[in-house]
Structure 1
Amino acid sequence: MLAVSPSADAPARVRILDADEWRARETAHRERAEALTAGRRERATRGETHPVDDFLYTYYPFSPAQLARWHPGPRVVLADAAAGERAGWRWYAPGSEPGSLLVDAAAMAREKAPMLAGIERILRLTAGRAGHFGCFGLHEWAMVYRQGEHRHAVPLRLGQDGTDAVVEAADLRCTHFDAFRFFTPDAVPRNRFAPTRELQPELEQPGCLHAGMDVYKWAMKLGPLVPGELLLDAFELARDIRTLDMEASPYDAAAWGGAPVTIETPEGKAEYVRRQRGFAERGNALRAAILDAWLGPVDRG
C-alpha cells in the first residue's frame, strides 16, 4: 500500500483499488479466514469445545464472522463499492471517485480517540522494549499452584505435588496482567512483578506470549484501520502462541494432540525460549506493520 505520514504540509496520499483487485483480496481473505476457523465452526455444530484451538474465541470476544470481514485499511479507495453491502458498514465514507468508498479514519479517530491512543501506546512501547525470555511459561503453572480445582478437566502432567515443586523452585516473573490475574492466591506473592491494568503499557514486553497474542486483540479492536491480511496474520500468531502456551503448561498436552514442552528440564527450557524468541520477532513485525498501515510509516532511526 502506498502511504506516507500525514502532516500539516502534505495530506496523506491514497491508493485506488479497482473493483476486480479489491474483490479478489476480499475473497482471498474470506477463504483464508474460513480455513482458519473451520475447526471452531464444526465443533460449534456439535456443541464441543477444544481448550487450545477454541481459546481465542473465548478469551477474546471475537467471532469467526468478524475475522472473515476484510478491510483495506486507511488511505485506500475502493472503486465501485458504494452499491454493495460495504456502504452500510460503520466507518466507511464516499471516496474521491464516484461510487467509491474508503475507511473514514478521521471520524473513527474523533469518536474513539482514547481507545486508539491507548492501543498505539501499547504497540509502540511494547515493540520498543527488549524481550524477557526467562519466564518459561510458568504463568500457567502459577494458575494451578496449590489448587485442588483446575481450569481444565485434564490431569496435571506431574501431578499436583510435582507441579507445586516446579513453581517453588522457579523465579516467577510474569509481566502480563491478564495472565497474572489468574494466579492462585499462593502464587501471587511469588511473582517478581505486580502487574495491574494501569501498569500494562509500562510492563508489556515482546517476549511475553500473552502480549504476542494480544496483537490480535488490538488489530481486531482497530477494525477497519487494519488491513485484513494483517488481521489474519495476527490471528495466526495468536493461534501458534496458544499452542506453545498449552504444550508448556502443567497439563498433559497429549490429551489435546500436543507434545509437552517440559520446561522443568534444561531441554524444555531451551525449546521454549527458542520458540518464544520467534514469536517475539513475529509480534514486533506485526506491531510495526499495523502502525504503518494505520498511521503511516514513521522514522525508526
Structure 2
Amino acid sequence: MPPIHTTLTEAEARERAAAHEARLRPVLDPYLAARRRGVKQPVMDFLFEYYTFRPGRLLRWRPGLGIAVQGDEARRWLREPGFVETPEGVTVDPARFPAHRIPSLRWVVTLLERTAARRPHLGCYGLHEWAMLYRTACPRHAHVPLRVKPEALARLVESHPITCTHFDAFRFFTEAARPLNRFQPTRETIHELEQPGCLHANMDLYRWAYKFYPWVGSDLIADAFLLAYRIRMLDMQASPYDLRAYGLEPIPIETPEGRRHYRQRQAQFYQEAQPLRQRLLQTLRTLLELAVINAPETTERVA
C-alpha cells in the first residue's frame, strides 16, 4: 500500500488544480502566444528548450507522493504511469517507480545534499554569459542586439576573475574564455563543485523536480519553475544582451553599482532556493527509500 498522509475530495483536488493553473497562466500565456506567432523570447525559450518539461504538462496538476484524490476525475489518472487506486483514493505509487531509474534518482539526491551543505559563492556577477560571447563572432542569441561593444566585453572578461562552478554553463564558454575560468567543471565533478549561490544550480531545481514527475507533485514543480523564471530574468538582465525590447532593463555588471545590485539579487535567490531545495530533497529521499524497498537490485547509472 503506498504511504498516504493527505486525502483530498474531488472538489478539493479541483480547487488545487485551478489554483495551480491560475498561478502559471500569467507567465505561460504570453509565451505560448508568442510561440504561436513564431516570435523568439530568450528568457522563456530557455525554460522550454534547455529544460524539456512541456507547457501542457506543467499546467496539468497532479498531487504527488503521499496524496490520494477521490472521485471519477482522479480515476482517469490510472491510465498514466505511476498511479494506483487505494481505499483512500487515487495516488502515485513509489512501487511503480522504474527500477532502472533508481541510480539516477540516487545521483540527484546526492547532488542536492552536497549542494545544500556548501556555503554560497555570490561573487560570479553573471560573467558566464559574457564568457559565452568572448572573442566570438557567433553569439548564442544572434537575433538579440548587444548592449556593449565586443571590445568592451572582452576587456571586462579579461579584467575580472571568472568563477563559474556550473558545468552546464561552463560548457557554453567560448574556447578562448575557458582557460580564464578559475574552475574547469566537467560532468564528473558536478557533485564536487555545485554550490547553492549559483543561479543555474538554483534554476536546476526545476529540472530535478520535473524529472521525477508525477512522484514529485505539480505544486512543487510550479514553485521551482516560477523561481527559475525569475532567476532567468536576472541572468539575462546581467548579460551583454540588450533585452529592453522584451521589457528587461539591463543590470550593468560592468559598473560597481551593477555588481552590487546583482550580488544582492543573487543572495535573495539563494535564500529562496534553500527551503525549496530541502522540500525537494525530502520528497526525493522518501521516493528513493520506497523505490529501493520495492526494487532492491539495480544497476548503477548517473543522471
- Equivalence map 1:19-98=2 (5 Å): 19-81=10-72, 84-97=75-88
Q: Is the 8 A contact 2:135 2:154 kept in 1?
A: yes
Q: Residue 294 and residue 22 in structure 1: after superposition, are their counterparts in 2 closer, same or farther (change >3 A)?
A: farther
- Which structure has more relative contact order (CA 8 Å, sep 6+)? It is 2
Aligned to 1:5: none
How much does 1:208 deviate? Answer: 0.6
Q: Point out the more displaced range, 28-37 or 110-119.
A: 28-37
Q: Point out the more displaced range, 162-171 or 262-271.
A: 262-271
Counterpart residue identity of residue 133, structure 1:
L
How much does 1:251 deviate? Answer: 1.4
Q: 2:295 aligned with 1:290, yes or no? A: no
Aligned to 1:145: 134
Counterpart residue identity of residue 116, structure 2:
A
Q: Residue 30 and residue 172 in structure 1: after superposition, are their counterparts in 2 closer, same or farther (change >3 A)?
A: same
Structure 2 residue corresponding to 1:234, chosen from 224, 233, 236: 224
Aligned to 1:6: none
Q: 2:107 aligned with 1:118, yes or no? A: yes
CA distances 1:151-210 after superposition (whole Å, capped 9, x unpaired): 123332220000000000010110001100000011000100010112112211111111
- Equivalence map 1:131-210=2 (5 Å): 131-153=120-142, 154-210=144-200
How much does 1:13 deviate? Answer: 5.2
Point out where structure 2 has 5 or more consecutive residues left out of the alignment: 287-303
CA distances 1:257-298 after superposition (whole Å, capped 9, x unpaired): 2111111111111100000011111111111112234445xx
How much does 1:226 deviate? Answer: 1.8
Output the CA distance in 2 between the equivalents of 1:155 and 1:17. Answer: 50
Counterpart residue identity of residue 188, structure 2:
E
Q: Is the 8 A contact 2:131 2:177 kept in 1?
A: yes
Aligned to 2:117: 128
Percentage of pairs with the same residue: 44
Q: Is the 8 A contact 2:109 2:284 kept in 1?
A: no
Counterpart residue identity of residue 48, structure 2:
Y
Partner secondary structure for residue 101 of structure 1: strand
Output the CA distance in 2 between the equivalents of 1:82 and 1:16. Answer: 15
Runs of 4+ in structure 1 off by over 6 angstroms are none
Aligned to 2:289: none
Output the CA distance in 2 between the equivalents of 1:101 and 1:270. Answer: 50
Q: Residue 294 and residue 76 in structure 1: after superposition, are their counterparts in 2 closer, same or farther (change >3 A)?
A: farther
Count of matched residue positions in the alignment of Structure 1 and Structure 2: 285
